[in-house]
Chains A and B, each alone.
Chain A
């Protein structure tokens, strides 16, 4: 443990404050040029879905509308994750810069930071930073403006379309897709929505060029990423690591020598048992073993003292409560999965019932309306399949 096998990266939190200089350089370059850099860097969204950021900006820049918006998703709802909070505390100017450049490229005059309700205490500090930033923009002749929007506190409001619904004063329920925000986002206008970390990486890419970023990581998973390491680890905390690392290396580095499983990507992510550490790499779906990292790179380690039944039960309780409740597979499915494993545990249902539940979770994955319901199967099937005995006895 603590072997420091994995290289610690220091890009995001690197203490650099040359916003004026960087922005004035950027504003001299053409939009195409900037987009090409972003695409060339291989940056993918750090908020969950892993959509190529350059492509997202490009699509939105091509959408025809007088009004467009940039939204920074700072809803950070994943339990135990607080990397976005750290970014906004330590290097908010990087995020603001990312937003302003995005605004310039897509043709938006207005940006919003959708700030998780619990992070309201950051507001005074953030507003100060925004004022300073506006002054810089003014000097450079840009009238782009950023505003903070306080979130409602529901996990589902981190999902981009329900986030926009909630900004419009409506109930936070995911929309049908398509249309995607790049076409019809906030107020029905083309909108780029990016995670806090994604925007902060944009700073690195624009400042140092795409290569520096691209040289980190592996194919399909370029660059570095912040991980919130928690659970049975002696060194819990936030770490910036290269993508593409093997889970074995990660566990060697962060585990307590008794690690039996790692939950990659929080409640919506996958549970990897010890026997699969070696073959699992951390990165986006691609040629690698491919594990998507919904909402923000949470890595939770479990040692042999943990009951995986309880772990799963906690996740299901979380989903059952945080589902927006609108669509059938998710609203009812979550309840069935939760009550189902409880019934099996109590012996009221035969262990074969787990198979029915596995099939149900597949149905949820295929039919739920948004990422929340679609991702319940990730933890469900990976835990039930790998720790079946723990579910039953």
Chain B
């Protein structure tokens, strides 16, 4: 154990490990110190200075987030000196801020607004500096950047650099001109940005928000000539509650379905259905590649195979590893598979002209907005997914409609394309696709269930950035003789910085994996850029527990057992990787520039 340090905060004794910051020590005493640039996910910046506290006996205030404790320190977090300074700092921030909250997307969930409210900054004597010429960049299909709302805390820069290793955002200029910028100040849509939205959920203010399509969806719903289909991704059902005053980790699937029906969507369906389908396609692709590489010596579709369901990851891959594009599974993401099937298979089933169908998806993700806009994603003949809303946007619609969410009854998804299994549910957590794929692939090859208790493949679960697992394949069915005794080597990574590490190792041939699951967002989709704000590891953990609970509670927990999946292959698709699948469910990738 490391050395303990004793100090006093507001007269109360506390003993903490050496190296702890004043902020963490105060947290231990449940003393709240306001912060803005601090975020648990990120390295310490210490630039906003709202967390300043008084060290008794010193004439300077120190930043609690950035200052380690010392033996015998006496800290005051609410002295007159501290309060006056803190007020000055908040007032300064507001003086350079375009603070017309009523016109701001983050109105009601903004850390700066909260602080201003807490400190009752009503008389603003400082000169208004917010009238400069700020730019609003709303050309990206996913992200809107409004510099006039920026407090320069650099959380976004640290997010994009540290968590994501993308580096699309950086600090430009100095002094009063200092701002958050991109490569040559280009629009976000023109740079390496992956649209992951992690900067959005780490931004304390309205300076980075998702591009919203709420009004277009309302318009579609109101249009009597349109049949509006909605699909909901798995992570939405364990996140949505947080935006609607429920605790983190609340499972609200039934209530959400009920709310969607009340909002007026004509068909309420489940992305989890296509998640199961993804497993069929991708699992088959994996087995196909194993056979080609190991038996036939055909390396044209090389190993390892990497997952492709995270569009932020896909774009990152296209920018960063253009030489390795053939490692990526050709499977579309569940959203896009769903979109392509909605306007073909489903439209035919319910006898709606696809031209009159509007396909909406509710995603924990901002990159999915961009993905739906990719020109390849029109295999149904139309735009496969018309509008993508985040979990947060759905919550806004629910509130606008005056729905008392917590009082709603539980309802079931419509059919067909509304049924799913536990394997699809766990797609929402990092490691989930891997686990779902293993549950199915192992059974295809051996005819037996994966050798893990209750189908829970725990080695691939958790929040560790990179996790490895291997599964020994024994007593295979006759068709799969070549896999007898083989060790399937898997790797799971989440957050693009971890993804980069893993892929660099693959590139340098330092590792030999067969299958790699990558999710762009820390924690996987449950921590996606479209999820409720705040998101941090504590909350991710709760959402993750909810996901595995949901899985454990399902009767069907393996994708290949989803009856609607069986049905669609029989009626429409034929077989996994078959001709129709190929046309509707698979896609291709392109090299992209590196700035």
Interface residues of A (CB under 8 A from B): 154, 156, 171, 173, 176, 178, 319-329, 331-336, 339-340, 343, 349, 353, 356, 359-360, 363, 365-369, 374
Contacts and interface: CB of A to CB of B under 8 A. Distances in A.
27 contacts: A171-B170, A321-B174, A321-B175, A323-B175, A323-B176, A324-B174, A325-B152, A325-B171, A325-B174, A325-B176, A326-B171, A328-B48, A328-B49, A328-B93, A329-B89, A331-B152, A331-B176, A332-B93, A333-B92, A336-B129, A340-B127, A363-B89, A366-B60, A366-B61, A367-B88, A367-B89, A369-B63
Q: Which 10 interchain pairs have the tightest Cβ spacing? A: A325-B178, A332-B92, A176-B66, A363-B88, A326-B47, A176-B46, A321-B175, A323-B175, A366-B61, A327-B47
Nearest to A373: B49
A332 B178 CA distance: 11
Interface in B29-87: 44-50, 52, 59-61, 63, 66-68, 81, 84-85
Given A320-B175, A322-B174, A359-B88, A178 B67 contact: yes
Contacts of B154: 326
Contact of B176 (A321, A365, A368): A321
B176 A369 contact: no
Contact of B49 (A327, A334, A360): A327
Query: Which of B48, B92, B175 has the most chain A CB atoms closer than 10 A to its own CB?
Result: B175
Contacts of B152: 325-326, 328, 331
B173 interface: yes
B96 interface: yes
Given A321-B176, A335-B176, A343-B127, A327 B48 contact: yes
Contact of B175 (A329, A331, A353, A366): A331
B85 A366 contact: yes
A176 B44 contact: yes
B480 interface: no
Query: Which of A176, A339, A374 has the most chain B CB atoms closer than 10 A to its own CB?
Result: A176
Nearest to B178: A325
Query: Which of B49, B93, B154, B173 has the most chain A CB atoms closer than 10 A to its own CB?
Result: B49
B60 A335 contact: no
A368 B89 CA distance: 10
B126 interface: yes
Contact of B125 (A321, A328, A353): A353
Given A331-B152, A335-B129, A367-B49, A156 B96 contact: no
B148 interface: no
Given A321-B176, A328-B50, A353-B125, 15 more contacts: A178-B67, A322-B174, A324-B175, A325-B171, A325-B177, A327-B46, A327-B48, A328-B47, A328-B92, A328-B93, A329-B88, A331-B152, A332-B92, A349-B127, A366-B85
Contacts of B46: 176, 327, 369
A85 B16 CA distance: 48
Interface of B: 44-50, 52, 59-61, 63, 66-68, 81, 84-85, 88-89, 92-93, 95-96, 125-127, 129, 151-152, 154, 170-171, 173-178
A325 B175 contact: yes
Nearest to B44: A176
Query: Which of B44, B48, B84, B92 has the most chain A CB atoms closer than 10 A to its own CB?
Result: B92
Contacts of B93: 328, 332
Contact of B84 (A324, A328, A363): A363
A329 B49 contact: yes
A143 B177 CA distance: 45
B469 to A, nearest CB: 34
A366 B178 contact: no
Given A321-B174, A324-B174, A369 B129 contact: no
A245 B559 CA distance: 86
Contacts of B175: 319-325, 331, 334
A175 to B, nearest CB: 8
Main secondary structure of the interface of B (DSSP, over half): loop
A360 B91 CA distance: 10
Contact of B95 (A329, A336, A368): A336
Contacts of B49: 327-329, 367-369
Contacts of B61: 366-367
A322 B173 CA distance: 10
Contacts of B170: 171
A334 B60 CA distance: 19
Contacts of A335: 96, 129, 176
A360 B126 CA distance: 10
Contacts of B126: 336, 340
B89 A328 contact: yes
Contacts of B44: 176
A329 B92 contact: yes
Contacts of A173: 171
A365 B96 CA distance: 20
B71 to A, nearest CB: 14
Given A322-B174, A323-B175, A367-B52, A339 B125 contact: no
Nearest to A322: B175
A362 B93 CA distance: 17
A326 B84 CA distance: 21
A329 B154 CA distance: 15
A369 B52 CA distance: 10
Contacts of B177: 325
B91 to A, nearest CB: 9
Contacts of A176: 44, 46, 63, 66-67
Given A327-B48, A360-B88, A332 B174 contact: no
Contacts of A343: 127
A318 B48 CA distance: 22
Nearest to B92: A332
Contacts of A333: 92
Nearest to B172: A171
Query: Which of B59, B171, B174 has the most chain A CB atoms closer than 10 A to its own CB?
Result: B174
A123 B48 CA distance: 39
Contacts of B45: 326
B171 A171 contact: yes
Nearest to B60: A366
Contacts of A336: 92, 95, 126-127, 129
Contacts of A323: 174-176, 178
Nearest to A175: B46
Contacts of A325: 152, 171, 173-178
Contacts of B171: 171, 173, 325-326
B34 to A, nearest CB: 13
B60 A332 contact: no
A59 B493 CA distance: 42
A344 to B, nearest CB: 11
B23 to A, nearest CB: 12
A21 B95 CA distance: 61
Contacts of A156: 174
